[in-house]
Amino acid sequence: MLVAPPKTEVAPPVVKQSQHPKGTLFLIGLYGVVFAAAWFAVYFFVYLRRGGVTP
Amino acid sequence: MTRSDRLSLAHLWVAIAAFGVASAMALMQALSRASLDLPWRSAKMYYLSVTAHGVLMALVFTTFFIMAFGYVVVSRTLDQEPTGLKLAWAGFWIALVGTLMAAVTVLSGRATVLYTFYPPLQAHPAFYIGLTLVIVGSWCWSVVMLLSYRTWRGTRPDRPAPLPMHGMIATVIVWLIATIGVAAEVLFQLIPWSLGWSKTVDPVLARMLFWYFGHPLVYFWLLPAYVLWYTVLPKVVGGKLFSDPLARLVFVMFILFSTPVGFHHQFMDPGVSAGWKLLHTFLTFAILFPSFITAFTVTASMEVGGRAKGATGLLDWIGKLPWRDPLFSSVALSMILFAVGGIGGAINASFGMNAVVHNTAFIQGHFHLTVGSAVALTFMGAAYWLLPRLSGRELELPLLARVQPYLWFVGMVLFSFSNHLTGLMGMPRRIYDASYGGSTVAAAWRGLTGLSAIGGVFLFASAAFFMLVMLGTGLAGKRITPQRVEWAEPLQPAAPGRGWFDRYWVWTAVAVVLVLIAYAYPLWMHLQMTRYGSPGFKPY
């Protein structure tokens, strides 16, 4: 008589609670740099170059 | 199907229909701006389609989708039907009648006033009355949402509000405060003026009231998208919400700071002094912070999900995310586009720098990354997730659903980035013919307007895919037992009691005080000045 092999339970994904989200911190930090760089680029190379007029 | 699901579905289908019509209008505009010689092309048709696209996409699609989602949140987080179902249906029919009135008026060429309906451009009274009915319908929805929460709170006085409901209550509060402005503008200025009861209108006052409403309108669109990002996305990626308190704090910050920022749309307007404009500049920068917190918390939640699937490196968790799931890809791609939109938003909001982008194509490039991506793409992704769960039908054409968010992303990159650049080069927004009669300055924009048109074609194809999936599912989807609507758990359990974040009356009172500080004196000053009214103009 054939006996079915015991089913192996698939463990649910383990959600680690103690780790810092290093990848997220890296991405957010990178975004902060791009954000500031883009703002200053428009400020220096577009706004000031056109005379820096304030309404 | 429950009575609540039938209510949600009715709203969802109106949203989808509005989206379909608005998308068709958008293609015509993108091709027209590239000066393609289309047989039906005319200035009249162009401005009619800009108005229809703006009204149907920004006011109708969003509002009906948000109302549909609000009822889903009530029924699936409070475990009860919405309190006041009759009022909810009354709100639906009132808003639908209003939508039809406004849409017919626009499409018949009697309300070519753009979605901002700035006077002295004048529309047929049916347009203003129709939009008023849409707002009244949304107020019915707001009351039902608040009554439902009160019913739930009555039996559970010591529990924190479920996070999705917390976000939707914040949405309702922002909406009720914001719509006071547009209601005052339409009821006391535009309807009497369009009916001929008053000969002239004060455009400066109308613009102040419109932008009192117009900027928090952005957060009315955005907050339900954030609810999805915080409470559904972590579940879809197999993770958990990184921080429940940070999410609650974000929604409270939006209650406080959404409204007192409208003058940053009026930096070039007379009638508001520089000091008040500068105050609104600072407050506008304050409203960037909850979005920064959201970017961190939602991305961290995705990282939690990716690491739960075995990722160990700095960024390899990104590859573990379910990029073939249309809800996930919609939200993730919309977040990337929104991050770029945030940079443009900071430039718009800078008091001095605004002068170089004001009323240029930069603005339409910007808001297509915010409302056109963060909001619309999230809502499309959510529709793939919601429709089968509400209708009990399997999602049809899943390949199209899988491809559609990527098409939207590519189209939006081409469309929006080229508009940012042409805007910085000086190209105005809302122009029918970008060639300016063959001027040499305008010739420099030519390649980029062509790129923008190609982006428009991608976006139209994406919108068509979305419509095919929706219609295929709704009309021919295989009957299935609907999956449950499941919400993400936080990484750390939420605090058990009813905390300060749930004290909505307190936050509403503080928000009203901030609104009074930001608006009462400038409005009073304006009303003291000699005001010059304008008659109405109907160029088309």
Determine contact, residues B82/B74, Cβ cutoff 8 Å. yes
Q: Which of A16, A21, A35 faces B343 most closely, judged by CB atoms? A: A35
Angle between helices B85-107 and B3-33 (to 10 degrees): 20
Determine contact, residues B35/B95, Cβ cutoff 8 Å. no
Does domain B322-493 fall into CATH 1.20.210.10? yes
Q: Give the bridge partners for B490, in sequence order.
A: B241
Contact A28 B343 (CB under 8 A): no
Contact A42 B299 (CB under 8 A): no
Digitized pLDDT (tens) for each residue of chain B, 540 residues in all: 899 999 999 999 999 999 999 999 888 887 777 777 777 788 899 999 999 999 999 999 999 999 999 999 999 999 999 999 999 999 999 999 999 999 999 999 999 999 999 999 999 999 999 999 999 999 999 999 999 999 999 999 889 999 999 999 999 999 999 999 999 999 999 999 999 999 999 999 999 999 999 999 999 999 999 999 999 999 999 999 999 999 999 999 999 999 999 999 999 998 899 999 999 999 999 999 999 999 999 999 999 999 999 998 999 999 999 999 999 999 999 999 999 999 999 999 999 999 999 999 999 999 999 999 999 999 999 999 999 999 999 999 999 999 999 999 999 999 999 999 999 999 999 888 888 888 888 999 989 999 999 999 999 999 999 999 999 999 999 999 989 999 999 998 877 878 889 999 999 999 999 999 999 999 999 999 888 899 999 988
Q: Tell me what pLDDT residue A5 has.
A: 52
List, in order, residues 6 or more apart from B110 with CB less than 8 Å away: B123, B124, B126, B127
Q: Collapsing DSSP states into helix, strand and coil, what is residue B99?
A: helix
Q: Which of A31, A39, A46 faces B346 most closely, judged by CB atoms? A: A39
Distance, CA of A28 to CA of A20 (rounded, Å): 13
User: Which of B241, B303, B427 would best serve as a mutation to test chain A binding (most A beta carbons within 10 A)?
Assistant: B303
Q: Which residue reads 């509060």 in tokens?
A: B173
- Please choose, from the candidates B53, B143, B37, the residue with its C-alpha nearest in 3D space to the C-alpha of residue B90: B143
Query: Is the Cβ of A14 closer than 8 Å to some Cβ of chain B?
Result: yes
Distance, CA of B173 to CA of B377 (rounded, Å): 24
Query: Is the Cβ of B307 closer than 8 Å to some Cβ of chain A?
Result: yes
Q: How many CA atoms lie within 13 A of B243 on its CB side?
A: 16
Contact A23 B315 (CB under 8 A): yes
Helix (H) or strand (E) run with residue B407 in it: helix B398-424
**Structure-block tokens of residue B171:** 């949405």
Q: Give the bridge partners for B241, in sequence order.
A: B490
Note the residue count of chain A.
55
**Structure-block tokens of residue B261:** 């920022």
ipTM: 0.90
Per-residue DSSP letter, B488? P
Contact B351 A55 (CB under 8 A): yes
Is the pLDDT score of A23 beyond 60? yes
On chain B, the residues whose CB falls within 8 A of the CB of A39 are 343, 346-347, 350
pLDDT band at A12 (very low <50, low <70, confident <90, very high): low
Query: Is the Cβ of A50 closer than 8 Å to some Cβ of chain B?
Result: yes
Q: How many angstroms away from the CA of B373 is the closest CA of chain A?
A: 18
Q: Which of B314, B424, B491 faces A23 most closely, judged by CB atoms? A: B314
DSSP string, B472-525: HHHHHPPB-PPPPP--PPBSSPPPSS--GGG-HHHHHHHHHHHHHHHHHHHHHH
Q: Tell me what pLDDT residue B40 has.
A: 78
Contact B308 A13 (CB under 8 A): yes
On chain B, the residues whose CB falls within 8 A of the CB of A46 are 353, 356, 424
DSSP string, B248-283: HHHHHHHHHHSSTTGGGG-TT-SSS-HHHHHHHHHH
**Structure-block tokens of residue B516:** 């009074």
Q: Collapsing DSSP states into helix, strand and coil, what is residue B479?
A: strand
Query: Is the Cβ of A41 closer than 8 Å to some Cβ of chain B?
Result: no
CA distances from B534 to B197, B200, B204, B206 (A): 14, 5, 10, 11
Is the pLDDT score of A1 beyond 60? no
Contact A26 B314 (CB under 8 A): yes
pTM of the predicted structure, to 2 decimals: 0.94
Contact A35 B315 (CB under 8 A): no
Query: Is the Cβ of A19 closer than 8 Å to some Cβ of chain B?
Result: yes
Residue spans of the domains in chain B: they are 1-159, 173-231+238-303+506-540, 322-493
CA distances from B145 to B47, B173, B295 (A): 37, 10, 27
List, in order, residues 6 or more apart from B42 with CB less than 8 Å away: none
Contact A13 B339 (CB under 8 A): no
List, in order, residues 6 or more apart from B364 with CB less than 8 Å away: B419, B423, B429, B430
Q: Give the bridge partners for B428, in sequence order.
A: B360
Query: Is the Cβ of A21 closer than 8 Å to some Cβ of chain B?
Result: yes
Determine contact, residues B9/B68, Cβ cutoff 8 Å. yes
On chain A, the residues whose CB falls within 8 A of the CB of B346 are 35, 39
Q: Which of A27, A38, A53 faces B343 most closely, judged by CB atoms? A: A38
Residue ranges of alpha helices (H) inside B55-158 are 62-77, 85-107, 125-155
Q: Known catalytic residues of B?
A: 215, 219, 366-368, 429-430
Q: How many angstroms away from the CA of B313 is the closest CA of chain A?
A: 8
Q: How many angstroms away from the CA of B118 is the closest CA of chain A?
A: 21
